[in-house]
Chains A and B, each alone.
Chain A
Amino acid sequence: MSVPTLAVWKFASCDGCQLTLLDCEDELLTLAGRVQIATFLEASSDIVGGPYDVSLVEGSITTPADERRIKEIREQSKVLVTIGACATAGGVQALRNFADIDEFASVVYAKPEYLDTVATSTPAAAHVKVDYQLQGCPIDRGQLLDTLAALLVGRKPRLPAKTVCTECKLRGVTCVVVAEGIPCLGPVTHAGCGALCPSYHRGCYGCFGPAATPNSAALIPVLHRDGMSGGDVDRVFSTFNVANFAAERHDR
């Protein structure tokens, strides 16, 4: 059997999610022995042409050229996995979707006419069929490795649709809301981080995006009780997964 090929692609993003692959220091050599890393610009300037068995796609679609490129990558890929909040939800740059793009460009750039960008930041799934998605800003290393291992042996990746709350309980972390009155988005946020922030006495701020059926209408009064203003609540839902949280806010 020939060695499966893996390609890693970047759109509008920070590189953090694809670097999670390079952060797999203990497992990287094993992985490199099982797959041919055909295209991965952040790791090597050697580029092997498609088709590819698995493509990991990081970043959101924000330019006309990228709208075309994601379709080309889809055609070249047997399995396409989006990685991170940008690729799965449009990322923090999707805050432009709720603002005036020309005003944004004018306050940041001296010569906005040099820019080539569209008014919205959209996930890959808005343009092509996506087979699996890894949420998170950034993604979790364990979920990435499990997904690649699953695809190698032909099973389904384990991407449980639980909440951060569930992971917190499984880990035995004392609830920061109940015990310390710290506002926390754990009840509405997708699992995957292993309850990282609550384990350090910090409330979850939703970087994995909304869980499957988030009951934000029930959570928001609790956030207010624990000291968040209406503006604080709007802002905490308006970060890396702003587009997906906005679609799931049913309290307004």
Chain B
Amino acid sequence: MTPEIRTLSVGALTRVEGEGALHVTLTDGVVESVELNIYEPPRFFEAFLRGRAYTEPPDITARVCGICPVAYQISASNAIEDACGVTVPPELVALRRLL
């Protein structure tokens, strides 16, 4: 019997830290291959953040993603505080959770 080969192709996936495409091949209902192609071009945030002042990463990393900027602002703040050994007051932690 000839195996049944199906391919699923999604040309444009949004909200995958940019845009990308997904191609899945199935043979007799079993996944044979999955190809994820993030064609969003690189922007090199990790490279150009080097040498910046400690105050800058929340503003700069917010521009990684316009859908979820707050996640980057808070991660950047947490990372800098962690590196500097700073503990923020509980009110501020609560405010960030609210954001």
Contact = CB atoms under 8 A, between A and B. Distances in A.
Interface string B14-29: 1100010000000000
A16 B41 contact: no
Interface in B1-52: 12, 14-15, 19, 40-48, 50, 52
Closest 3 CB pairs of A and B: A16-B66, A104-B47, A93-B43
Contact of A15 (B43, B50, B65): B65
Interface in A80-103: 91-93, 95-96, 99, 103
B59 interface: yes
B40 A12 contact: yes
A227 B35 CA distance: 52
A154 to B, nearest CB: 30
Given A92-B48, A96-B48, A99-B47, A63 B65 contact: no
Contacts of A235: 52-53, 56
A122 interface: no
A108 B47 contact: yes
Interface of A: 10-19, 41-42, 45, 62-63, 66, 91-93, 95-96, 99, 103-105, 107-109, 115-117, 121, 137-138, 205, 231-232, 235, 239-240
Contacts of A66: 41
Contact of A137 (B15, B46, B63): B63
Contact of A109 (B12, B40, B42): B42
Contacts, number: 86
Interface of B: 12, 14-15, 19, 40-48, 50, 52-53, 56, 59-60, 63-67, 69
Of the listed residues B44, B48, B64, the one surrounded by the most CB atoms of chain A closer than 10 A to its CB is: B44
A131 to B, nearest CB: 23
Contacts of A91: 43, 63
A96 B21 CA distance: 26
Contacts of A137: 63
Interface SS, B side: loop
A104 B65 CA distance: 20
A99 B48 contact: yes
A19 B60 CA distance: 18
A16 B69 contact: yes
Nearest to B48: A95
B44 A19 contact: no
Given A108-B47, A205-B59, A42 B14 contact: yes
Given A42-B14, A62-B42, 7 more contacts: A11-B41, A12-B40, A12-B43, A13-B66, A92-B43, A105-B42, A239-B56
B41 A239 contact: no
A108 B52 contact: no
A107 B47 contact: yes
A121 B48 CA distance: 13
A232 B56 CA distance: 10
Q: Which of A14, A93, A96, A107 has the most CB of B within 10 A?
A: A14
B52 A96 contact: no
Contacts of B60: 92, 239
Contacts of B56: 235, 239
A16 B65 CA distance: 7
B59 A138 contact: no
A137 B65 CA distance: 12
